[in-house]
Amino acid sequence: MADKGKRRCSFCGRAESEVALLMTGMSGYICNECVEQAHNILREEAMLPDKDFKIAELPKPKEIKAFLDEYVIGQDEAKCALAVSVYNHYKRIMQSGTADDVEIEKSNIIMVGSTGTGKTLLARTIARLLKVPFTIVDATVLTEAGYVGEDIESLLTRLLQVADYDVKAAERGIVFIDEIDKIARKGDNPSITRDVSGEGVQQGLLKLLEGSVVNVPPQGGRKHPEQKMIAVNTKNILFICGGAFDGIEKKIAQRLNTHVVGYDSVQNKQNIDKGDMMRYIVPQDLRSFGLIPEIVGRLPILTSLRPLDREALRNILTEPKNSIIKQYKKLMEMDGVKLSFEDSALDYIVDTAVEYKLGARGLRSIVETIMMDKMFEIPSAGVKSCKITKEYARKQIERSASIGGAAE
């Protein structure tokens, strides 16, 4: 056996002291760096098995919608639009490797709806079904390069981290850009001053949405300036944007009003649902709100989410697989306690959520307020069952409101 101090890699010739690990073979040695380099060569030469979708594995639009129905209540139009767009997107990825003259363009999606209507939940649920890398990024923290905040490339940094730095997997992932309305430019005219968190960010997003090779810092931009960049091609990354676009109803109303002229103007006005102006949204409304035309053009699939009425909120509370009530029942079950709610208590929770106007997101905070004392006492009380009544729920909510008012 060769002396340990003289052992060298049979491929690169480096001594054992110069590498992290030297592996022994039948008649030679190989270091960890040569193993990693060989792996990269095989990947580049397409000799390693690829993880791309096969057509048999891709669920059909109806199957995608059925899966979404298990977790998201209502919003059928948005679900259908999302299901078709995602299905076509991954068919496009599978078609890109064939010698076909017809090249299918990427269809990024923008979802418009008030807070708590399910935009983020829809995107997260569809990524769970497809088992692809998925990340949620808040557009409000993005600024132009060189300013305080996160660079636009940080969107892809997070996607890489979710994919365990598997570039091939990340390049077929989904990025959900939340609060896209917060980067709208402040006026309808191009800014003559630096709008570092508005129009400038929109301009920076163009190359990502369209599809280009972007050099991504794997650990973020400014904290590690010496790090090696990773090239990521965004051609097959699906971008789903979501935003509340608070106030866009006025833009829609103005447009509808200008179109409603002539003999039947009164009749047309009566047909407009003033309680849900979002259903009439068109791309030009996004432009009027402050998104630049280039961004609007790269988000061709526009869908709106309906405001949640009382019936929808009641169903959200109990019906989905991971509904809020089922989550609390599971938490109590882990302590050996059977939790139940009176129907009147559930109705009171829904009424409170409607009053607060927080959508489905408000249901969670209301139930948390009601359950806090019980969840503190019950694990040590040794009880086997717990029923939440309307009277108890009202008492907890009113006490919380009085504490909040006293704090103010």
- Per-residue pLDDT tens over the stretch 33-66: 899 888 777 765 543 434 455 555 788 999 999 9
φ, ψ of residue 214 to 5 degrees: the values are -120, 135
Overall average pLDDT of the 119-146 stretch: 81
- Per-residue pLDDT tens over the stretch 181-217: 888 876 555 544 445 556 778 888 888 888 888 888 8
Tell me which of 160-169, 217-226, 347-356, 394-403 is least confident.
217-226
Parse the chain into domains and list their residue ranges.
4-44, 61-304, 310-407
Taking the C-alpha atoms of 91, 95, 100 and 102 in order, what is their torsion angle to the nearest 10 degrees?
40
Mean pLDDT computed over every residue of the chain:
81
Q: In this predicted structure, what is the pLDDT of residue 152?
A: 80
| Spatial CB neighbours of 60, under 8 Å, sequence gap ≥ 6 | 87
- Per-residue pLDDT tens over the stretch 336-352: 999 999 999 999 999 99
One DSSP character per residue, 170-203 reads HTT-EEEEE-GGGGS-SSSSPPSS--TTTHHHHH
pTM: 0.72
**Could you report how far apart the first and last alpha carbons of the chain are, in Å?**
79
CATH architecture for the domain at 310-407: Orthogonal Bundle (1.10)
Q: Supply the CATH classification number for the domain 61-304.
A: 3.40.50.300
- Cα–Cα dist 205/314, whole Å: 38
Q: Strand runs (DSSP E) across 113-166, as ranges?
A: 134-138
